[in-house]
Amino acid sequence: MSEFTLTTVEEFEAATNRLLETGAKVGADSWQMRVKNQTPHCKFGENGVCCRICSMGPCRITPKAPRGICGCDAHGIVGRNFLRFVAGGAATHSDHGREICNTLGHTEAGGTYQVKDPAKLIRIAKEWGVETEGKDIYDLAHEMSEIALSEYGKNHGISRWLSRAPEHTREIWHREGIEPRAIDREVSCAMHMTHMGNSCKPEALIRQSLRNGLSDGWGGSMCGTEFSDVLFGTPKEIQTEANLGVMVEENVNIVVHGHDPSLSEIICDLADSKEMQDYAKTFGAKGITVSGVCCTSNEVAMRRGIPMAGNFLQQENVVLTGACEAIVVDVQCIFPALGPLSKCFHTKFITTSPICQMPDSEFIEFDTGSAAEKAKKIVMLACENFQNRKKELVYIPQMKHKAWVGYSVEEIVHKLDGVTNSQVDTTGSTRPLLECVTSGVLRGAVAMVGCNNPKVRPDTAHIEMMKKLIAKDIIIIASGCSAQAAAKAGLMDKAAKDLCGAGLKRVCELADIPPVLHMGSCVDISRMMILAAELSKDSGLAISQLPVVGCAPEWMSEKAVSIGNYVVATGLDTFLGVVPYCAGSDQVAGLLTDGIRDWVEAAYTVETDIDKLCELMIERIEQKRAALGI
Ligand code: BF8
Ligand code: SF4
């Protein structure tokens, strides 16, 4: 029998409870307490039937009041609310992508930002028809930065990234009128359509939801991922660790949190420098440990092996250890609670982006021009803060797991090369992976993505589903907080192969990979789209025919719904464990779970019983296999 064991959610919770005791001592608030004050939630909000987009309202739909003052019915209100939700998510991912494009424009030889993957830059330039011959790589970077930025607001045409999709998918997008144009335009169009007195026809609203989602996944997010790789390197397999035990009591602990790697990359560089390590020592620390939370963490873990302190619902825990000198945040998914919470400890809560300004934080505005200087200031502040620790409050749960991460599409293809005894040359393609699937060694793949949400016992859905799936020879690609849940549990340890069915175990051994592959942050779900596109092209099958599905069992954010929309619109069935605010309209819910299948060959399945959700996914994968006769 295998000796390998996972860390359980019960163990996570015991550690959290111990930290909450510290919190109680200092009078700290926690999400666990706030949830109690906020439940049960408002039914109108939950069903999506509250409209407050004009000041004649708010209007709420009930059997007695089936229309708002303007006459809009539940279907129009739910559909508009859904589209606005998507627009929020698409705007957020895409604006992050824009910042990365902007950073690309500030690269220089020997500067703070450099081109770390010139081959990838040249590859993208060629894809976009940009002359590369004889050009200085930095001239090319600046030119590509301009072109990429113009993708956001160009007046004509469709997203350049769509050319990466298989022809069949592109035909669907064209036929259904959901090809995304300029990225900002789709967000603007969504806001326009949902203004008072515009669209209230569910079909029109859902079509724009799909188009806006696609402008994220095959637009803004893809810019974010691809140009982050150009700037900071395309991820390759690397070992790291996950969970709160990565924080080191004797060291200055800096926790980076948020999404944009432009700041955290520089902080990691600096924290490693002898100058800063020595500086930390002058305050009695042994050194500096940088760890991460949320997607910033995923970014620096994938490229540098920086340990992951935790995921979304663990962000307060890092402060509760009493050993966090600074929590440095950029944008998105940051609890405003961190302000008052850090005040209960010595922790410095440092905000850095004009996009994310919060009370009770120290705002050190970060921009590409002053990146090195600001990062140094932040690292020094953290070092100086070491002496202010309240020793009696320090408790770091000694809980962490080894994790292998860094599986970009390039790395997956590389690792799987040679897994099969193929007679044809499969080098550099997804064919070995396809052969594993068609032969039945692997039954299929699930893309596990998304957040934590107090509506689901945190991390349980991610971990339990992954355990079941890998036991059935279904390989997992994971991103965002889902990936971090897996890493904390131990599912990204190569030894986790012992929990797999015989087929997947064999693949893990031959390719030397864990059964759950960390593909990065949430913008990196665009990597999953590229992988699906490559699998489709290499197999000659439509994406919708592949035994591959997407799943966000604990999702919470607008970004997650934008993702869901582009995953579905790309042809992959998507399974949700938290109900979107659509239950108030059978027409909208019906379109999302069924009707859109006629447009894009895929749809949503929503099921809050996680066991059932998992069964439904396995069923869908097996149906796809049966349809292919494999
Ligand atoms: O973008 S998975 S909680 S951290 S939204 Fe946020 Fe959700 Fe985590 Fe990354 Ni994605
Ligand atoms: Fe009410 Fe119509 Fe105004 Fe919405 S747009 S708040 S339904 S009057």
Domain spans of the chain, in order of start: 52-232, 244-393, 408-628
User: 214 exposed, middle or buried (CB, 10 Å; 0-12, 13-18, 19+)?
Assistant: buried
With a 6 A CB cut-off, is 462 part of the ligand 1 pocket? no
Backbone angles phi, psi at 284, to 5 degrees: 95, 0
With a 6 A CB cut-off, is 333 part of the ligand 1 pocket? yes
Q: What are the Cα distances from residue 363, in Å, to 112, 265, 329, 356?
A: 21, 19, 10, 10
In the CATH hierarchy, which top-level class contains the domain 244-393?
Answer: alpha beta
Task: Looking at 439-501, list the stretches that DSSP marks H as alpha helix, in order from N- to C-terminal side.
Answer: 460-471, 480-489
With a 6 A CB cut-off, is 523 part of the ligand 1 pocket? no
Give the position, in ligand 2's atom list, of the atom nearest the Cα of 58.
6
Residues of the chain under the 50 pLDDT cut: none
* Pocket-testing residue among 31, 484, 522, ligand 1, by greatest number of atoms within 8 A of Cβ: 522
Instruction: Tell me how far the alpha carbon of residue 198 lies from the centroid of ligand 2, in angstroms.
Output: 11
pLDDT at 428: 80
* Pocket-testing residue among 50, 72, 80, 199, ligand 2, by greatest number of atoms within 8 A of Cβ: 72
Name the residue at shortest CA distance from atom 1 of ligand 1: 522
Give the position, in ligand 2's atom list, of the atom nearest the Cα of 197.
5
Q: Strands 238-242 and 401-405: what pairing?
A: antiparallel
Looking at all shown ligands, the one closest to residue 552's CA atom is 1
pLDDT at 426: 66
What DSSP character marks residue 8? P
Instruction: Please choose, from the candidates 480, 551, 560, 483, the residue with its C-alpha nearest in 3D space to the C-alpha of residue 515.
Output: 483
Name the residue at shortest CA distance from atom 6 of ligand 2: 57
The residue length of the chain stands at: 630
User: What is the per-residue pLDDT across 247-279, written as a single tens digit (0 to 9) for each?
Assistant: 999 999 999 999 999 999 999 999 999 999 999
Instruction: Please choose, from the candidates 254, 244, 312, the residue with its C-alpha nearest in 3D space to the C-alpha of residue 481.
Output: 312
Q: What are the Cα distances from residue 332, in Å, to 272, 293, 355?
A: 26, 11, 9
Q: CA 310, CA 568: separation in Å to the nearest integer?
A: 28
Name the residue at shortest CA distance from atom 6 of ligand 1: 333
Give the position, in ligand 1's atom list, of the atom nearest the Cα of 259.
9
Task: Indicate the fold that domain 408-628 takes in CATH.
Answer: Rossmann fold (3.40.50)
The C-alpha R_g of the chain, in whole angstroms, comes to 24
H or E segment to which residue 445 belongs: strand 444-448
With a 6 A CB cut-off, is 602 part of the ligand 1 pocket? no
Q: CA 351, CA 356: separation in Å to the nearest integer?
A: 7
Q: Which amino acid is at 528?
A: M
Instruction: Tell me how far the alpha carbon of residue 364 lies from the centroid of ligand 2, in angstroms.
Output: 41
Evaluate if pTM is beyond 0.95. Answer: yes
With a 6 A CB cut-off, is 557 part of the ligand 1 pocket? yes
Instruction: Tell me how far the alpha carbon of residue 2 lies from the centroid of ligand 1, in angstroms.
Output: 33
pLDDT at 423: 60
Instruction: Tell me how far the alpha carbon of residue 73 lies from the centroid of ligand 2, in angstroms.
Output: 9
With a 6 A CB cut-off, is 450 part of the ligand 1 pocket? yes
Name the residue at shortest CA distance from atom 7 of ligand 1: 451
Q: What are the Cα distances from residue 398, in Å, to 17, 111, 249, 481?
A: 14, 39, 10, 21
With a 6 A CB cut-off, is 93 part of the ligand 1 pocket? no
**Is residue 372 within 8 Å of residue 266, measured between CB atoms?**
yes
Instruction: Tell me how far the alpha carbon of residue 68 lies from the centroid of ligand 1, in angstroms.
Output: 34
* Pocket-testing residue among 86, 299, 451, 561, ligand 1, by greatest number of atoms within 8 A of Cβ: 451
Instruction: Tell me how far the alpha carbon of residue 258 lies from the centroid of ligand 1, in angstroms.
Output: 9
pLDDT at 419: 76
Instruction: Tell me how far the alpha carbon of residue 91 lies from the centroid of ligand 2, in angstroms.
Output: 24
Ligand 2 neighbours by CB, cut-off 6 Å: 51-54, 56-59, 68-70, 72, 77, 196
Which residues make beta-bridge pairs with 362?
A: 350
With a 6 A CB cut-off, is 600 part of the ligand 1 pocket? no
Contacts of 82 (CB under 8 A, 6+ apart): 48, 205, 206, 209, 561, 580, 581, 582, 588, 592
Looking at all shown ligands, the one closest to residue 458's CA atom is 1
Looking at all shown ligands, the one closest to residue 59's CA atom is 2
Q: What is the dihedral of CA 130, 136, 142, 144, to 10 degrees?
A: 20
With a 6 A CB cut-off, is 323 part of the ligand 1 pocket? no
pLDDT at 425: 65
With a 6 A CB cut-off, is 560 part of the ligand 1 pocket? yes
Instruction: Tell me how far the alpha carbon of residue 493 lies from the centroid of ligand 1, in angstroms.
Output: 22
Q: Which CATH architecture has domain 52-232?
A: Up-down Bundle (1.20)
Q: What percentage of the chain reaches a pLDDT higher than 70? A: 98
Instruction: Please choose, from the candidates 244, 259, 285, the residue with its C-alpha nearest in 3D space to the C-alpha of residue 382.
Output: 285
Give yes or no on whether 52-232 and 244-393 have one common fold: no
H or E segment to which residue 288 belongs: strand 288-293
